[in-house]
Structure 1
Amino acid sequence: MNLHICEVTVHNWRSVAALDVAAEQRQFIESNAFSLAESLYEGNATSLALYDGETLVGYAMYGWYSEKNESIWLDRFMIDHNFQGNGYAKRFLHLLISYLQEKYQCKKIYLSLHPNNKLAMKLYESFSFRLTGDIDDEGPVAGVVMELLIDKVKLP
């Protein structure tokens, strides 16, 4: 595997928008097209393409950095349904955490997920993300908020 992350550009945005989760997962996450528009028009987020070599396998979006709280949001993270079950989620989550920590020297990473998305919850908990008790009701998919304290990170 040759995993790497790069920003979404004019050259790959259509391919990123075409990525999709399995039908039964669509209730859990906004479409990539919505997320790309959000990152473009709200201006607080950056969209990332997740590649294995030359093959696009997933998408992530981060933003809403808080200097005061030394925190950043990993606002979207998905692996295309054609590549699920191959260990990409764990490997890319590890890469994304390292990338965000290095880029921002942040102490906390937040994310939110649909409360019924048990597989994603298990993945995030394996990296030491913990529920905060807060609800993220911004956008079309409301979710429970999870927090990762960087000094407590445990990589599975």
Structure 2
Amino acid sequence: MEIRLQELSSENWYECCQLEISEEQKEYIDTNAISIAQSKFEVTLKPYAIICDGAIVGFLMYNSVKEELDGYWIYRIMIDKKFQGKGIGRIASELMLFEMSKLPDVKKMVVGYHPDNLGAHNLYSKLGFINNGDRFGKEMAVVKYINE
């Protein structure tokens, strides 16, 4: 299984909009189309297609400037429902964290998600994110500290 990230472009954005999450995830995550539109107005957001064996199977996006908690935020990671449960999300997340580690003065990476989203909780726990009790609206924010 070859997994890589590809910057969002005029060639792949529509296919990313066609990706779907599972029914139980729909209450936790907006559509990719909303995230893609957001990236056109907030130019510091970096959207990517997730490619597995040559096919677009997911979408992710992070911010290239620091925000709340003095960290770089992950805005989105999703894998199409047909490709979930195969480890693609974890590998894509690791690739994203590697790209984010190249940003200036990285000490923290942060992601917010609904506390009931067990899939997100399990993924980010495995990737070394820690819950310090930070909350933003209905979401909890977990932090990955980067060693210098």
Taking structure 1 as the reference length, what is the TM-score of the superposition?
0.86
Q: Are 2:139 and 1:148 aligned?
A: no
Where does residue 11 of structure 1 map in the other structure? 11
Helix, strand or coil for the counterpart of 1:75? strand
In the other structure, the counterpart of 1:83 is: 83
How far apart, in 2, do the equivalents of 1:24 and 1:82 lie?
14
Pairing of 1:26-105 with structure 2 (within 5 A): 26-63=26-63, 65-66=65-66, 71-104=71-104
With over 3 angstroms needed to count, the CA separation of the structure-2 counterparts of 1:52 and 1:103, relative to structure 1, is farther
Compute the displacement of 1:71 (Å): 2.9
- How much has 1:42 moved relative to structure 2? 2.3
Counterpart-to-counterpart distance in 2, 1:80 and 1:92: 13
Percent identity between matched residues is 29
Which residue identity is paired with 1:150? I
Q: Find runs of 4+ consecutive structure 1 residues off by over 4 angstroms.
A: none
- Deviations 1:21-48, CA, capped at 9 Å, x for gaps: 1011111111101111111112231111
CA RMSD of aligned residues (A): 1.9
Q: Distance in 2 between matches of 1:104 and 1:49?
A: 23
> Is the Cα contact below 8 Å between 2:64 and 2:100 reproduced in 1?
no
Instruction: Say which SS state the counterpart of residue 151 (structure 1) adopts.
Output: coil
AA partner of residue 94 (structure 1): E
Q: Secondary structure at the match of 2:101?
A: helix
Compute the TM-score of the two structures, normalised by the length of structure 2. 0.90
Q: How much has 1:64 moved relative to structure 2?
A: 5.1
Tell me how far 1:70 sits from its aligned partner: 6.5
Aligned residues: 147
Instruction: Provide the C-alpha distance between the structure 2 equivalents of 1:66 and 1:7, rounded to a whole number of angstroms.
Output: 20
Residue type matched to 2:72 in 1? I
Deviation per CA, 1:77-103: give whole Å up to 9, x if none: 111101001111111111111111024
Structure 1 residue ranges without an equivalent (≥5): none
User: What residue ranges of structure 2 are gaps of 5+ in the alignment?
Assistant: none
Which deviations, in whole Å up to 9, do the C-alpha atoms of 1:96-144 show, x marking residues without a partner?
Answer: 111110244512111101111012101101111012322234xxxx411
Letter in 2 for 1:145: A
